[in-house]
Amino acid sequence: MIINILAAGPTENLADLENYQTEDDRWVGVDKGAMILLSKDIQPIMAFGDFDSVSKNEMDKIKQGVSQLNRFKPEKDETDMELALNWALQQEPDLIRLFGATGGRLDHFFANVQLLVKPVLQQQAIPIEIIDDKNILYIKNPGEYSIGKNSLHPYISFIPMTMAVEALTLTGFKYPLTNRHIPFGSTLCISNELLDDCGTFSFTEGILLVIRSKD
């Protein structure tokens, strides 16, 4: 099972949601994201939020179109996206995708990127991806990983999410590395490319953000 969560980020930054609809996918709306799903004839199974960004008419449509509505007061300790993600993690899906999580307000964007770390800190082996019209973001903890060429997202960047990532090694890349110490704030690993159909990356300590991008 895959859980797709759509937040209320700018629609011009959305990936084509039709490419992510299969029998294994379940959709969740966050705040106005529920309305966006309904407008695209995608049926959300749940909706979360304080819904402070929707009109009364839109709220009525959400109430009619979503059977399980979880409404919260604006004064709360979690963002609407985190509330939806907490629920999704409890379902133990194979994958969680976050849409509508980029563009617009930078505070929301950085908060959403930090949410990628949540299953790592909770020792849950559930991958989470942030996907928009130009990027795919995900987190990895120490280990060795294969990565395949993607013609739609040819550029690959590696960014430390901790004070440092240790012994980062990149093989099969245009700019290879061997056992490099990458401190937080380094731009050394921005905009790399695979030389062949597949490469590998590995590291021994830290948490690494992987970003696949297109122009």
For residues 199 and 176, the answer to whether their CB atoms sit within 8 Å is no
The more confidently predicted of residues 120 and 165 is 165
Residue 155 gets the label, from left (phi > 0), alpha (psi -120 to 50) or beta, of: beta
Kindly indicate the confidence band of residue 54, based on its pLDDT and cuts at 50, 70 and 90: confident
210's tokens: 């992987």
State how far the Cα of 28 lies from the Cα of 48, in Å rounded to an integer.
8
Residue partners of 154: CB distance under 8 A and separation at least 6: 193, 194, 214
Q: Is the pLDDT of residue 13 over 90?
A: yes
For residues 31 and 9, the answer to whether their CB atoms sit within 8 Å is no
State how far the Cα of 123 lies from the Cα of 108, in Å rounded to an integer.
24
**pLDDT confidence of residue 72:** 87
58-63 CB contacts, 8 Å cutoff, 24+ apart = 58/32, 61/35, 62/29, 62/34, 62/35, 62/38
32 Cα distance to chain centroid: 18
User: pLDDT tens digits for 68-115?
Assistant: 999 888 788 889 999 999 999 999 999 999 999 999 889 999 999 999
User: Is 2-133's fold the same as 139-213's?
Assistant: yes
Q: Is the pLDDT of residue 210 over 80?
A: yes
Residue partners of 57: CB distance under 8 A and separation at least 6: none
User: pLDDT tens digits for 112-163?
Assistant: 999 999 888 777 889 999 999 999 999 999 999 999 999 999 999 999 999 9
State how far the Cα of 213 lies from the Cα of 133, in Å rounded to an integer.
9
Q: Domain 139-213: give its CATH code.
A: 3.40.50.10240
**pLDDT confidence of residue 124:** 81
**pLDDT confidence of residue 3:** 97
pTM, two decimal places: 0.94
Buried b (16+ CB within 10 A) or exposed e, 11-37: eebbbebeebeeeebbbbbbbbbbbbb
Average confidence score pLDDT of the chain: 94
3-state secondary structure of 165: strand
* Domain range 2-133, CATH class: alpha beta
Kindly indicate the confidence band of residue 24, based on its pLDDT and cuts at 50, 70 and 90: confident
**pLDDT confidence of residue 11:** 92
**pLDDT confidence of residue 38:** 94
Extents of the domains making up the chain: 2-133, 139-213
